[in-house]
Amino acid sequence: MLGDWASLLIYLLFAALVAGTLLFASVALGTRGRREGRQKAYSFESGVSVGSFAPSNFSINYYLTAMLFIVFDIEIVYLYPLAVILEPLGVFGFVELCVFVAVLGLGYVYIWRKGALEWK
């Protein structure tokens, strides 16, 4: 039923096993500190104490990049099946592809001129 994916699952199992073993070993084999001081557990700030830290507001650019990624990646996912059967489809497939890329290009020009591609 699983076909070829069964052998891949076996492989992934070994991959997870290696990663899991290393993670377990990092906890189990590490030397014990002589004193469990608080200072050592503070996060890095060049020796200055950090105080409290909470993830807060973030630059809008990251959200913008994520949205652009979703738009373009979904377009590309649509292109994959077309690419596989492009040769048998012939001229019809090529015209189809050109229309698709043209629409994509329109959106691309729009976001460029809106300045969405500038990192501020």
Partner 1 sequence: MVDGFFITAIKGFALVNLLMGFFAIMTWVERRLIGRFQVRLGPNRVGPYGLLQPIADLGKLLRKQSVIPAGARPRLYLLAPFVSLTCAIGAFGLMPFGGVASVPGTDIDFHLYMADSNVALLFVAALGSLGFYGLLIGGWASGSKYSLLGGMRAIAQLVSYEVAFTLAVIGVVIHAGSLSFVDIVQQQSDWVWFIVPQFLGFVVFMIAAVAESNRPPFDLAEADGEVVAGYHTEYGGMRFAMFANAEFINAITLSALAAVLFLGGPSGPLLPGPLWMLLKAGFFLFIFIWLRATTPRVRFDQLMSLGWKVLLPAATLNLVVTAAFVVYG
CA quadruple 88, 89, 95, 100: dihedral sign? negative
Q: What is the Cα–Cα distance from 6 to 89, expressed in whole angstroms?
A: 33
Does residue number 47 form part of the binding site for partner 1 (CB under 8 A)? no
Q: What is the Cα–Cα distance from 97 to 94, expressed in whole angstroms?
A: 5
Among 69, 99, 107, 110, binds partner 1 (CB under 8 A): 69
Does residue number 115 form part of the binding site for partner 1 (CB under 8 A)? no
Q: What is the Cα–Cα distance from 17 to 14, expressed in whole angstroms?
A: 5
Which residue ranges make up the site for partner 1 (CB under 8 A)?
Answer: 3-8, 10-20, 22-23, 25-27, 29-33, 38, 40-45, 50, 52-53, 55, 58, 61-62, 65-66, 68-69, 72-73, 76, 79-80, 83-88, 90-91, 93-94, 97-98, 101, 104-105, 108, 112, 117-119
